[in-house]
Structure 1
């Protein structure tokens, strides 16, 4: 009995001791002071958010808006067609175009709004023309004027017009129910028909062999052919040569220019007025140097006038072809349809007619047609005005839709962006108005003096 009681007492003591130790251990887990870890974490998170916000703000780089018309013209065009906001298909198109723009319905900073405006503007950027484009066009109109000292602009005994036509596969593209090639053929045929009978005409095609596949690249990039050698226009022979031309492969522009230099080699600039038209619907795709070839042609004793026509071309293509035109001090014109291509070629027809009049009576003093210059100035101004209006409205329409319909911007953001849009396009209007006034005032001066003044004011600091 005593032994059993002893055992019971020992077991009870062990249990009580264990419970006491557990209680003591649990007591140690209760801190003497309130835990502040949650508050510390919250503060650290807030600081981190502020740091991220500050960092994001610092990382935003907002490019300045154009400061000159030349800078404006250098911007790549975006969606240039008219786009309303009422029809479902128009709204769907705006949604697609602006899908990468952020939601600014909260409280964006002014810097963020400026970046937003730049991005929205780029989407609807119009294809403006800078002063240098019009100046080059006016220069071309001076051919034959006795006040011009440049020998290549003076009429000579013979007139030679050589057209270099892109026959690459992309010329199959549809253009209002006909291919680009068919539209080009019609315009070139009408152009050649209108030239004086004493003028020599020629047609060289390039990229007309092979296909657009990589396996045919070498063949296509080595293809260029003078299908109508320089000679007076013969309608039947010329049309036969043109009809055989079909779009095929790649675009070897350097090769075409190099071969053109050989075509014109017998016609030295001392006795020949040589005009070359390069027609292409894209950049050179043959890993070559068309600008270098253009410089070589321009600096040769052929002393040609080289004009470039970009036919329904994208921005990258425009950029390269403008460099070709600049290297030869020629004109570059971007044409979107057969009518505008015809209009551009017709300018050369007018020069050719002046040459024919001069050849009949060299004692007659040819004056630059000031009325024609006025028409060129008016046409240039009207086209830029239309682009200015379209861009301002299109950006404004998109803002209105994103604000009122999609609710992706606050009223404060909307007001800020609309004011910025008005200010920017008022600046564009003012700059083109000043240019137009300068052009009209200088139109009464001698043409070479007027062009020099325009170049000094508008093109010396133009972006490359």
Structure 2
């Protein structure tokens, strides 16, 4: 709730920003009530508000009486009543009491007119793909050693790997960054080229968001040729990760173990302990038992997973399954934001309750002081006919407040409920839609 002057100023600024919003209509208490016809209109200029004020609200925007709030004492009131002519009309007496006792409702009116019922969960809703709550980078390390030219069924290992990787990256979140690093792509698998080949590791797609043409051209240019410098590739991969990435997924695809004398297990352990802390996924492509053992040890050092695939189809299925695992981020997104929408709805309800309690407390204070004045007048010779009429006017004003607060509660609660359920429904509809798309890919 807004209890301070600073908060009051912030509410005014927000009101200026929201003037273009569609107004929330509040019906006002009946204009036939006599109290409304004799209440004074606002004398202070009205600020820009989110919606038009009701007639009753307009009457409450007047300057408060000089005996409002803490300015009031019973002795001050009695002293003024003692000088009041007992022959004046009840209407004149009521107006006089309002001039003295009218509470300061201006802030309450502004807060009510500007009360936002909008419910917008904080996590951005994605447009057409999965949402990643953190800036995420996908680093792909691809073996380009000579053995990747081996045929499995109708395609070479390299051809199958290129196809699977291409499908995988095309379905990643648009906001994610991706890098593709190859190793062993220079020289040949001959001993004379070993030094050259073991130094060969290159980010042929530097970190960037997905670009189909760039990725396709980079994949097409890869020719399997040399040795297998896995450790050298791992030593260089940190350079591929943009500094803003808060989460890194590292996919290493190889059809063999390290052949350049490096220690990929140690390198993977160091990566896991670095600030990068990647989620490691090691894929062994039709690899022998010794190679499987070496790659498993590497995956364990990175606290990651090792997967053996026997063909291009299996590799494609693995990466598709991996994509679907990532797409389940939608489920978490829906759960988080759906719960957030319901929490925000309850929070709005609580804010409204607190606002209405302040309204009631302020209106009750004014009414109680009006009734105190009436009792004093009764004891000091105020004519019975005038007394009954004044009592009626005070009751009509009390009824106006009751009607206004009842309608305010009804209207704003309905708007909060509508906004909350619409936000919740939109979240789950979008989540379900994207989950269906994920399963279709």
The TM-score normalised by the length of structure 1 is: 0.43
Higher Rg? 2
